[in-house]
Amino acid sequence: MARLLIGSSLKMYFGHRQTLDWVRAVAAICTEHPATVSGAVEFFVIPTFPSIPAVVEIARPAGIAVGAQDLHWADSGPFTGEVSAAELAELGCTLAEVGHAERRSLFGETDEMVAGKTHAALRHGLAPVECVGEPDQGPAELAVQVCLDQLERALAPARAAGTGGRLIVAYEPVWAIGAPTPAPPEHVRAVCGALREHLRADPLFPDAAVIYGGSAGPGLLPTIVDAVDGMFLGRFAHDPQAVRAVLDEVER
């Protein structure tokens, strides 16, 4: 079975203690579940900054990768409140979420900022979890073009510098984030399939993966698995048993 990448960003839903309880529960599942034990699934978690060191201690023995929800584009400097890719790597992170729609809408992140953060992550060996997605629901063909434009703008500085590495593209249509249900499977399959085709045989990103997020949870994977490399779970994974249910779907 092909390896699938499945994980969750906890955003700011949990406090520190609740985060650790959740990670312990998921680590226990991943330690014994056939999908993770066999290598069919690589699981990851993206907690808030303060919880990262403690989460790494719990997650690493269970084979769970840990990421950060944001990072700065500079390696060091007078940037109050920011965290560099270098420090995240030092703490044990292997992933960094970049360009989420909430960062763009709530905090004014621009394409230039997203591109700088993407390059910073790659410079320090962190796989960018590059979030792309169209703002409004419409034809898949239009969504594909919007996502490809976003992706290539984000990768432009890294491409110019010849900086490659592991890349994870998270397709999250903005209109599906926080919605009662995910985007329709046929839409997800069309957009993710096009993104995968675009990245196929890319010399800088030979192991690029395309995962789907946006109200993703149990029940979705079987309908899209032929067109994605995994799923980016949201609030539907706050119950650790929902994580188990998704892993069960991989086994089935």
- For residue range 125-173, list pLDDT tens digits in order: 999 999 999 999 999 999 999 999 999 999 999 999 999 999 999 999 9
pLDDT digits (tens, 9 = 90+) for 12-56: 999 999 999 999 999 999 999 999 999 999 999 999 999 999 999
Residues noted as catalytic: 100, 172
Are 111 and 151 within 8 A, CB to CB? Answer: no
Q: Is the pLDDT of residue 2 over 80?
A: no
4-251: what CATH class?
alpha beta
Are 183 and 176 within 8 A, CB to CB? Answer: yes
Q: In whole numbers, what is the pLDDT of the chain averaged over residues? A: 97
User: What is the gyration radius of the CA atoms in the chain, in angstroms?
Assistant: 17
> What average pLDDT does this structure show over 226-248?
96
Which CB contacts under 8 angstroms, 24+ apart, belong to 51-57? 51/16, 51/19, 51/20, 52/88, 52/91, 52/92, 52/93, 53/91, 53/92, 54/16, 54/20, 55/19, 55/20, 55/23, 56/91, 56/92, 56/93
Q: What pTM value is reported for the model?
A: 0.97
